[in-house]
Structure 1
Amino acid sequence: MLRNKFTKRPTRRATVNVNLGTLSAYRLDSVELVLTKCVVKSDFMSVYMGMLDKQVVAVKQLQSGDIAILELFVKEITLQSSLKGPRVVDYLGACWNDPFDMKCVMEYMDCGDLKSILASHKSSAFPWDHKLKCVQEIVHGLKYIHQLPRVHGALRSKNVLLDTSKGAKLTNFYVLGAPLAARAYQWAAPEVLSSNRFSASADIYSLGVILWELESHKVPFADLKNDRTGK
């Protein structure tokens, strides 16, 4: 198993003063956290399966020495830790010995994300009675968020996680100041793309795109490219 070891980060961390006060209410004891398997790895973030107090959890670990990315990560943890709706993935808190080694501990969802499930299953293997249940749970999640009132701001199939016993839950809410993910524009409402006007209505537009995915098992607007990224 991968114990809770820390890897070397850029030396600029020594001169960075990051305000972590908003995370104090959500801080966990890093000694109790054990990482067991790396699930996803990127230049900025890695996701692990882990154990915390005999509970299986998912763990996001920062992999960047960029202060802007750290600040967005802190905002993400603070935001989603405050959301406790039954159709929202539960953020249990965060632990760190150094800000750039920060780990976010989340509820583990054993089926992964909806986008991957649609890509790997034929329609016959994901019948509409199951899909409708998934849609109902997504709608319940949006209803909870919109009544706060907040918006998801980044609703797409990759940000809907599924579990064999817990059903569908929403995750990865938009954090103010974050750029639109390079591969998320297909789900974004026109007003979001043109002027970053996030709203409950824009979330409903994104839900409509997910409904199209559930019918087609295809990536929306797959033949189009983002002018800024070329992807």
Structure 2
Amino acid sequence: MQPLLCNLTSSASERILELQEKIGDSEFDRDLLQIKEKIASGSFGDLYRGTYLDVDVAIKLLKTGHASNDSKVQFLQEIMILRSVNHENVIRFYGACTKRRNYLILTEYMAGGNLYDFLHKQNNTLELSLILRIAIGISKGMDYLHQNNIIHRDLKSANVLVGDGQVVKIADFSVARQRSQEGDMTAETGTYRWMAPEVINHKSYDHKADVFSFAIVLWELVTLKVPYESLTPLQAALSVRQGLRLVIPSSVHPRLSKLIQWCWGENPHTRPVFSEITAELEDILLTFQVASRSKGSH
């Protein structure tokens, strides 16, 4: 039994070295980094606000207490993905430090916090045009990731950050994967209230699991409610597994309502891809703007 364990550990250490070598050149001068207040705490890492050369940055630190080889591999994989992406609706990567004991990732700092807090903690009422603009931003960011074979695997409102002028960016790639890497994915990854049925059921899944999660975020945008708020996360997952879905209020724009249902369909193959979602959202927005203008001119 022992040798197998040994192999697993050594293969993880080898993977760490291999990833560190690939990342090599994104190191920065740690002495110029100022770490300020903690913004959030995750299972593997804590998020801080800070400055680097007078620029506001977000700093993700791997918790040393959790620094098993597996969590190091996960952290390094996140850096690899962040380094490879460049899109206005995806968080911008500034650098990483993996040579010292405390691994860290530097990304841009988003002053508006995350979309979950924006929707659920500020008693906002959102105009249809703003709902659509936020949804389009998320959809474009996700489309870009999917075009680059990246599956996010934990899309939820807490992982969407809000910046100036309500620009939104997708963040937290700690469980994201390149599609070509793994073959079939079956690991139960993500957050129950946003998780696709095929993931809950440990079936093999692909990028369409992100589309299901997007449907839940869209539902949050139109209702300003926490998904399945009267259920525990596990109860929520079990009801999704049984085919139950959230109730869409009749006041929701009929085309948006239809889009949500299309995205959270049981069969992943019949769900749309993000380019189709973006096109539909942009068309709803255009129609709405034209209607508003003609109302205004009477």
Bin of the TM-score, shorter chain as denominator length: 0.7 to 0.9
The CA deviation at 1:136 is 0.8
CA contact (8 A) 2:57 2:106 kept: yes
Unaligned runs of 5+ in 1: 1-15
Larger radius of gyration: 2
Are 2:107 and 1:106 equivalent residues in the alignment?
yes
Q: Kindly provide the CA deviation profile for residues 159-179 of structure 1, in whole angstroms up to 9, marking residues without a partner as x.
A: 111102460011123335986
Distance 2:88 2:160 in 1: 13
Are 2:221 and 1:219 equivalent residues in the alignment?
no
Which AA in structure 2 matches 1:80?
L
| Aligned 1:128-167 pairs, distance under 5 A | 128-165=128-165, 167=167
- Counterpart residue number, 2:189: 180
- Counterpart residue number, 1:127: 127
More off after superposition, 51-60 vs 114-123: 114-123
The CA deviation at 1:117 is 1.0
- Counterpart residue number, 2:206: 199
**Alignment TM-score, normalising by the size of structure 1:** 0.81
CA contact (8 A) 1:153 1:198 kept: no
Which AA in structure 1 matches 2:94?
L
Which AA in structure 2 matches 1:89?
I
Are 2:83 and 1:81 equivalent residues in the alignment?
yes
Q: What secondary structure does 1:226 align onto? A: helix
CA contact (8 A) 1:153 1:199 kept: no
Q: What secondary structure does 2:201 align onto? A: helix
The CA deviation at 1:135 is 0.5
Give the 3 Å change call, closer, same or farther, for CA 43–80 of structure 1 in structure 2: closer
Distance 1:145 1:44 in 2: 23
Cα RMSD (Å): 2.4
Distance 2:120 2:169 in 1: 19
Distance 1:97 1:116 in 2: 34
Distance 1:42 1:33 in 2: 21
Which AA in structure 2 matches 1:143?
D
Give the 3 Å change call, closer, same or farther, for CA 71–179 of structure 1 in structure 2: farther
The CA deviation at 1:188 is 1.4
The CA deviation at 1:196 is 5.4
Distance 2:170 2:110 in 1: 11
* % identical equivalent positions: 26
- Counterpart residue number, 2:23: 23
CA contact (8 A) 2:162 2:168 kept: yes
Q: Kindly provide the CA deviation profile for residues 35-79 of structure 1, in whole angstroms up to 9, marking residues without a partner as x.
A: 122222456322111111221100001112322111111111111
The CA deviation at 1:209 is 0.7
Give the 3 Å change call, closer, same or farther, for CA 93–116 of structure 1 in structure 2: same
CA contact (8 A) 2:134 2:166 kept: no
Q: What secondary structure does 1:215 align onto? A: helix
Distance 1:89 1:196 in 2: 30
CA contact (8 A) 2:40 2:46 kept: yes
- Counterpart residue number, 1:115: 116
CA contact (8 A) 2:151 2:176 kept: no
Distance 1:36 1:131 in 2: 32
Distance 1:196 1:74 in 2: 26
The CA deviation at 1:194 is 1.4
Distance 1:128 1:103 in 2: 38
Q: What secondary structure does 2:204 align onto? A: coil
